[in-house]
Chains A and B, each alone.
Chain A
């Protein structure tokens, strides 16, 4: 089945630094989503991308839908301690009520 390759697996950064993580796929997706999960909680939607080439921001977060539709990246600028958590990318072949394919996650640690 489809798989998403998410990297890096983990990151250790200093507060204030910028962060970048990405997902790649061998399949074309028509929707890319980025979620953040805190320990013991469900994932929270950060950004949804629907068009190839689309660049979308949500506060200090910016994500892009790759032109080839096989990749996406998430950037976090000026990281703060509350950015700590696990970030997951997810793709859908079409969208809406279709099931998600998840990456394995990027664990972010921010040192104050």
Chain B
């Protein structure tokens, strides 16, 4: 099946730091990638849809200036959590979808802990 690689797998940093998370599709070109946030014991919450070469579409309530998304190539999308604070601590997961009507495949997630 399709492989999506996410990096880093976990990060701990001080409040006020900006953190960048990378999502790569390793064996397919992903014109669209998705970023999710998951709190403990809850389902995945879609944050934004990232389209290659264009601006991301953010879900209602997600601050676009807080969560910067860049999708510069067909194999890489990045999520930057700017000036992170403890309430931004969460599990962030990306997914990618092939061009030809294939289901989304997920990365292994990034555990972000802000002290």
A positions within 8 Å CB-CB of B: 31, 33, 35, 40-45, 48, 88, 95-97, 99-100, 102-105
Contact = CB atoms under 8 A, between A and B. Distances in A.
Contact of A42 (B32, B46, B103, B108): B108
Interface string B77-115: 000000000000001010101111111111111010000
Contact of B104 (A40, A100, A104, A105): A100
Which applies to chain A's interface (DSSP): helix, strand, loop or mixed? loop
Contacts of A96: 97-102
A40 B10 CA distance: 10
Contacts, number: 55
A97 B43 contact: no
B106 A104 contact: no
Interface of B: 1, 4, 6, 31-32, 34, 42-44, 46, 49, 91, 93, 95, 97-109, 111
Contacts of B42: 104
Nearest to B1: A45
Nearest to A50: B101
B103 A43 contact: no
Contact of A97 (B1, B31, B46, B91): B31
Contacts of A33: 103-104
A88 B42 CA distance: 11
Given A42-B6, A42-B93, A42-B107, A100 B46 contact: yes
Given A40-B109, A96-B99, A96-B102, 15 more contacts: A31-B103, A41-B108, A42-B4, A42-B6, A42-B106, A45-B1, A45-B103, A45-B104, A88-B44, A96-B98, A99-B34, A100-B46, A100-B95, A100-B104, A103-B43
A45 B95 CA distance: 11
Contacts of A31: 103
A88 B43 contact: yes
A45 B107 CA distance: 11
Nearest to A41: B108
A33 B63 CA distance: 28
Nearest to B93: A42
A99 B44 contact: no
A107 to B, nearest CB: 8
